[in-house]
């Protein structure tokens, strides 16, 4: 592949995948600035690997694996992590609606509460699947088989159904009434 083609392919991948990777890293990092730094480092590593001629079959899985490793490195050196958080005044200065930011943080907190019934691995698999990753890509990213991905998803969904009291379709829930035409 020509260097120009590699650059174009990398740019389009960056544009489409960066927001997803950033959300993923935000779960592990102390603050958004740290998550942005880690995400950018991951893409820099990807770019360097591609320029060196390394063939990366599943780039999404590759970036997730590298991001997880970088976050683990940060956790092992807690004094290197940035622990700052935005104040409401700082949010207002950026032109964001403080009430909207507060509601978003409440929604994120509620989601964390729902996901707390899952194991860390189940949560990770579920969130990756919700980002439309294929079972094969999730398995590659986490270093597990596709059948393990399937099993973890089934367990995660089962636990969430228990929490919400939802039964499977065809399990006795009232079905919508058919309309009768006169």
**pLDDT of residue 16 exceeding 70:** yes
Which of the two residues, 103 and 37, has the higher pLDDT score? Answer: 37
For the chain, which domains are there?
A: 1-79 (1.10.1740), 117-169 (1.10.10.10)
Of residues 131, 149, 137, the one with CA closest to residue 18: 131
Span 72-104, pLDDT tens digits: 887 775 544 444 444 444 444 545 454 555 555
**Beta carbons of 32 and 26 less than 8 angstroms apart:** yes
Which of 4-13, 29-38, 125-134, 137-146 holds the top average pLDDT? 137-146
Query: What is the share, in percent, of the chain residues with pLDDT greater than 90?
Result: 18
34-38, 46-50, 91-95, 107-111: least confident range? 91-95
Per DSSP, the chain holds a count of helices (H) and strands (E) of 8, 0
Q: Read off the pTM.
A: 0.53
Average pLDDT on 47-72 reads 89
Q: Confidence band (pLDDT; 50, 70, 90) for 108?
A: low
Residue 156, classified by CB atoms within 10 Å of its CB into exposed (0-12), middle (13-18) or buried (19+), is: buried
* Per-residue model confidence (pLDDT) at position 82: 45
pLDDT band at 175 (very low <50, low <70, confident <90, very high): very low
Average pLDDT over the chain, rounded to whole?
Answer: 76
pLDDT tens digits, one per residue of 122-139: 888 888 888 778 899 899
Predicted pLDDT at 62: 92
């Amino acid at each position: 592949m020509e260097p120009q083609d590699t650059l174009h392919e990398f740019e389009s991948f960056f544009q489409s995948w960066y927001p997803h990777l950033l959300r993923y890293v935000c779960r592990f990092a102390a603050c958004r600035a740290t998550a942005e730094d880690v995400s950018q480092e991951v893409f820099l590593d990807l770019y360097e690997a591609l320029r060196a001629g390394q063939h990366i079959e599943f780039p999404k899985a590759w970036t997730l694996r590298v991001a997880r490793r970088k976050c683990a490195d940060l956790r092992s050196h807690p004094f290197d992590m940035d622990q700052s958080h935005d104040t409401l005044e700082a949010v207002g200065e950026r032109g964001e609606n403080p009430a909207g930011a507060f509601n978003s943080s409440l929604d994120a907190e509620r989601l964390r509460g729902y996901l707390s019934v899952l194991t860390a691995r189940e949560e990770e698999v579920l969130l990756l699947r919700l980002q439309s990753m294929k079972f094969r890509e999730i398995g590659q990213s986490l270093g597990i088989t596709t059948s393990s991905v399937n099993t973890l998803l089934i367990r995660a969904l089962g636990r969430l159904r228990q929490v919400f009291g939802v039964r499977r379709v065809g399990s006795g829930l009232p079905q919508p009434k058919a309309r009768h035409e006169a």
